[in-house]
Amino acid sequence: MKKLLVLSTLLAAPAFATPYIGAEYGVAATNHNFEPVVNFVQLTPDNNEGVAGVFMGYQFSDNLALELGYRQSELSDGQGQESLVGTGADLTEIEKDWDADIKVKQLTLMPIYSFHINDKWTAKLGAGISYSRYDFSASFTETSEHVATDIETVTSHITGDTGTHSEIGAIASVGVEYAIMPEWTVGVNAKYQADSFANSSSVSLMTRYSF
């Protein structure tokens, strides 16, 4: 009888284990120390293109899962000036552009705890580690275009601070999901991630499908 109970338990346990995949997209606010000065102008890249991510996980029980995620975003800042010099056939347009950007690619690994509010709504909490790669660059470019001939020439190009940082950090999340179907949910989450290069707060809409 005891052997039958043990066997039944082993067979029943996988019924709770469910793999899943999902995607998310949202907005973020990021703090960092990359504020380069290029040709006497200071630039401060910020989040203006949103943050996108995908994730996959394994639901070990009704309340506990382990989730691997990937997110990417781009922070940028730019300034420009245009002026005209010369007259008549010698009229030339001078354009000056200052640009700085940070491209972020991030892997996260988090245990996720679920709390079922009712049969449709579920609250979720998570905390784990992050691995982030930051590619940053800054530059200044000056071009001149002869108005009569449309011939454009690069008259100056200055490369500012450029490089890559890879950082290990921490991440935490809180969210709520609504079950459209037993295997398909939609929801919203808020995340905070920090390491020695930057820290970021984000709010995203998400969808998840369980197999």
Distance CA 30, CA 202 (A): 9
Q: What are the pLDDT tens digits along the chain (211 aa)?
A: 545 444 444 444 445 689 999 999 999 999 999 999 999 999 999 987 799 999 999 999 999 999 999 999 999 999 999 999 988 888 999 999 999 999 999 999 999 999 999 999 999 999 999 999 999 999 999 999 988 888 999 999 999 999 999 999 999 999 999 999 999 999 999 999 999 999 999 999 999 999 9
According to DSSP, the β-strands at 184-194 and 151-159 are unpaired
Give the 3-state secondary structure of residue 150.
coil
**Token reading at 80:** 């420009």
**Token reading at 196:** 């020695």
- Total domains, the chain: 1
In this structure, is residue 8 part of a structural domain?
Answer: no
- Domain range for 124 is 16-210
In this structure, is residue 58 part of a structural domain?
Answer: yes
Contacts of 12 (CB under 8 A, 6+ apart): none
Q: Are 84 and 90 a contacting pair, CB within 8 Å?
A: no
Task: Check the CA dihedral 85-86-91-92 and report its sign.
Answer: negative
Residue 175's CB is within 10 A of a number of other CB atoms, namely 20
CATH label of the domain that carries residue 151: 2.40.160.20
| Best CA proximity match to 134, nearest among 103, 169, 99, 171 | 103
In this structure, is residue 96 part of a structural domain?
Answer: yes
Element (H, E) at 9: helix 2-12
In this structure, is residue 4 part of a structural domain?
Answer: no
